[in-house]
Amino acid sequence: MLKKTLAVATLALLGTTSVQADLFKPEDAIKYRQAIYQVFSAQSSVLGGMVRGDIPFDAEEVHKRATNIAKVAPMLGETYFPATRGVTGSRLQDRAWNNMSDFQAKGQAFGKALGELVEASGQPDFDQAKARQTIGALVQSCRSCHDDYRAR
């Protein structure tokens, strides 16, 4: 169910029309977008802390953090509408708009890694080795998009 929601949400990323432009001013949409990424960041720092061993491993906690990301991730799509292109304060690189299918593919890879983490962390056999692998894949999906489409 959740996996399906995620797949739909990531597919919708950038597939948006100008409907959102009627609801949000571009400047506000950027703040909204960045706030969602800040939620990602807070959850990911707990996940990363567990992988590094700074925070004791706890499968339930991993599941909770992954689920938190999955709750807000579907909202990202509506923050990416054409009028948000080039807004001051946004770190989205302009070339994302010219490489939309690749940008979307990065979003889908993220959705897939996240879905796998949510699912795996809910299984009774989820251990530290599996956590390292699935969390590593998620973090890699963040990095892969930032490397190409987020300004420094």
Q: Give the annotated binding-site residues for heme c.
A: 142, 145-146
Give me the least distance between CB of 78 and ligand HEC, in Å please: 13
Q: Which of residues 24-43 bind ligand HEC (CB under 6 A)?
A: 30, 33-34, 37-38, 40-41
Q: What angle do CA 72, 74, 5 make, to 5 degrees?
A: 115
Per CB under 6 A, 145 contacts ligand HEC? yes
Report d(CA 136, CA 116) in Å as an integer: 12
The interface region with ligand HEC, picked from 17-25, 50-58, 89-97, 122-130 by CB under 6 A, is 89-97
Report angle CA 131, 92, 40 to the nearest 5 degrees: 30
The 52-71 contact track toward ligand HEC, x by CB under 6 A, reads -----------------x--
Token representation of residue 94: 């302009």
CB-based burial label for 139 (10 Å; 0-12, 13-18, 19+): middle
Give the separation between CA 32 and CA 10, rounded to whole angstroms.
Answer: 17
- Where in 98-117 is the site for ligand HEC (CB under 6 A)? 103, 106-107, 110
Q: Which residues bind ligand HEC (CB under 6 A)?
A: 30, 33-34, 37-38, 40-41, 44, 69, 90-92, 103, 106-107, 110, 138, 141-142, 145-146, 149-150
